[in-house]
Amino acid sequence: MQAIRVHQTGGPEELKLETVPDPVAGQGQLVVRLAAAGVNPVDTYIRSGKNNYAPKSLPYTPGIDAAGTVESVGPGVHKFKPGDRVYVGGSLSGAYAQKALCTESQLHALPDKVTFEQGAAVNAPYVTAYHALFDRGCAVSGQRVLIHGASGGVGTAAVQWAVSAGLRVVGTAGTEAGLKLVKDQGAHDVLNHHDADHVQKALSLTDGKGYDIIIEMLANVNLNNDLALVGRCGRVVIVGSRGRIEIDPRQLMSKGSSVVGTSLMNASESELLAIHTAIFSSLSTGAIRPIIRTTMPLSSAAEAHKLVMEPGALGNIILLP
Ligand code: NAP
């Protein structure tokens, strides 16, 4: 089969299309024929060895998220059978490939109405957004949430989850197209995070009371402003950060507000079970609808890695093996 291989950490040019042996399902394993693979920023961190990430071993096939059809199952597999449509959240062999070797727990049923391209955009964006909003942010209906960076994969997912749960949503983006996309997902108000006065505007949308929850995609730029924007006993949930920042901690003291981090990797088994159950039913009803910015052939993985790190996000980038 064809797969992208990385032989040494470095730039996008390290992503090489190669022919490798087909995976074979062992005890408790499945082979999934992949129809689409999702491109996440973390894939670029692992490839380059940046932001505290590194490949577990070299060479390796990148990619966490994908979707496709179960091709074969090994002994001891009970949950899935050949022909089942699934989305993939992690694998033993990597997602930028025509096939992936997976454990049962890495696969989740994909509703018939959801395309494989959309399925490849489900796992990291929607699990992260749900975990940030509801498990770490403790969001409940009627609360105000600011999604600071709402135009990308996690941001559009967070807007959809928050709207469907009855929150009052303000989302930010950095381009006109991004602002329209965020509004189209149901955000009640949108702001451009590059406007110097967007913090003041964001505060005025709450009548000065501040937000119950802030979902932050770029904490190294925004965290100190978030401390001004968060309301009494509110929570800033850090999803993304690409550097350091100086903050004034007194802003937390005066309001009893808090800052929490979140990581997909830290979600517990019971949280993940609840999240994937919510994903299946919300995909089925259309309450969540993964946004595909563009699809590219697997051979364009390097181009996809450049694009995902450029400004102007509009949902998810998908590779077609
Ligand atoms: P993405 O699709 O590339 O989106 C990036 C988002 O950040 C876009 O909405 C972008 O808006 C926004 N952004 C750019 N400049 C900003 C600024 N000054 N202030 C606020 N937002 C700004 O990436 P993603 O998949 O949504 O992931 C977002 C971040 O979360 C990444 O850093 C990623 O590594 C991280 N992440 C963390 C976890 C976790 O478990 N903690 C899981 C998944 C992702 P414009 O492009 O419109 O300017």
CB of 59 within 6 A of ligand 1: the answer is no
Q: Is 225 in the pocket of ligand 1 (CB under 6 A)?
A: no
Token representation of residue 177: 């197209």
Phi/psi region, residue 10 (left: phi>0; alpha: psi -120 to 50; beta: rest), is left
pLDDT at 51 (0 to 100): 82
Q: Write down the pLDDT at residue 52.
A: 86
Reported pTM = 0.98
Q: Any residues with CB less than 8 A from the CB of 247 and at least 6 apart, and which?
A: 223, 224, 227
- Exposure string of 40-55, with b = 16+ CB inside 10 Å and e = fewer, is bbbbbbbbbeeeeeee
Nearest to 146 by CA among 168, 131, 122: 168
Instruction: Assess whether the C-beta atom of 315 lies below 6 angstroms from ligand 1.
Output: no
Could you tell me if the CB of 153 is within 6 A of ligand 1?
Answer: yes
156 Rama class: left (phi>0) / alpha (psi -120 to 50) / beta: alpha
pLDDT tens for the 321 residues of the chain, in order: 999 999 999 999 999 999 999 999 999 999 999 999 999 999 999 999 988 899 999 999 999 999 999 999 999 999 999 999 999 999 999 999 999 999 999 999 999 999 999 999 999 999 999 999 999 999 999 999 999 999 999 999 999 999 999 999 999 999 999 999 999 999 999 999 999 999 999 999 999 999 999 999 999 999 999 999 999 999 999 999 999 999 999 999 999 999 999 999 999 999 999 999 999 999 999 999 999 999 999 999 999 999 999 999 999 999 999
Residues contacting residue 80 through CB under 8 Å, at least 6 positions apart = 30, 70, 73, 86, 104, 107
222 close to ligand 1 (CB < 6 Angstrom): yes
Query: What's the rounded Cα separation, in Å, for the pair 212 and 36?
Result: 37
* Ligand 1 contact via 48 beta carbon (within 6 Å): no
Q: Which atom of ligand 1 is nearest to the CA of 151?
A: 9
Determine if ligand 1 sits within 6 Å of the CB of residue 173.
Answer: yes
CB neighbour burial string for 93-116, b if at least 16 within 10 angstroms, e if fewer: bbbbbbbbbbebebbbbbbeebeb
- Index of the ligand 1 atom closest to the CA of residue 175: 47
**Tell me, what's the pLDDT at 38?**
98
Check residue 109 and give its pLDDT.
98
For residue 151 and ligand 1, the question of a CB distance below 6 A is answered with yes
Tell me the backbone φ, ψ of residue 102, rounded to 5 degrees: -135, 160
Tell me whether strands 99-103 and 29-39 are parallel, antiparallel or unpaired.
antiparallel
Going along the chain from its start, the domains and CATH numbers come out as 2-122+290-320 (3.90.180.10), 125-265 (3.40.50.720)
Determine the residue of 217, 275, 294 to mutate for testing ligand 1's pocket, defined as the one with the most ligand atoms within 8 A of the Cβ atom: 217
What Å distances lie between residue 26 and 4, 29, 86, 109, CA to CA?
23, 5, 19, 21
* Dist. CA 199–CA 228, nearest whole Å: 9
Q: What is the DSSP letter of 188?
A: S
Alpha-carbon dihedral sign for residues 261, 264, 269, 271: positive
Could you tell which of 40, 44, 135, 154 is best to mutate to test the pocket of ligand 1, judged by most ligand atoms within 8 Å of the CB? 154
Do residues 318 and 307 lie in contact, with contact meaning Cβ atoms separated by under 8 Å? no
* Residue 178 CB contacts under 8 Å (≥ 6 apart), including other chains: 150, 151, 312, 313, 314
What torsion, rounded to 10 degrees, do the Cα atoms 52, 9, 7, 305 define?
90
**Ligand 1 and 149: CB distance under 6 A:** yes
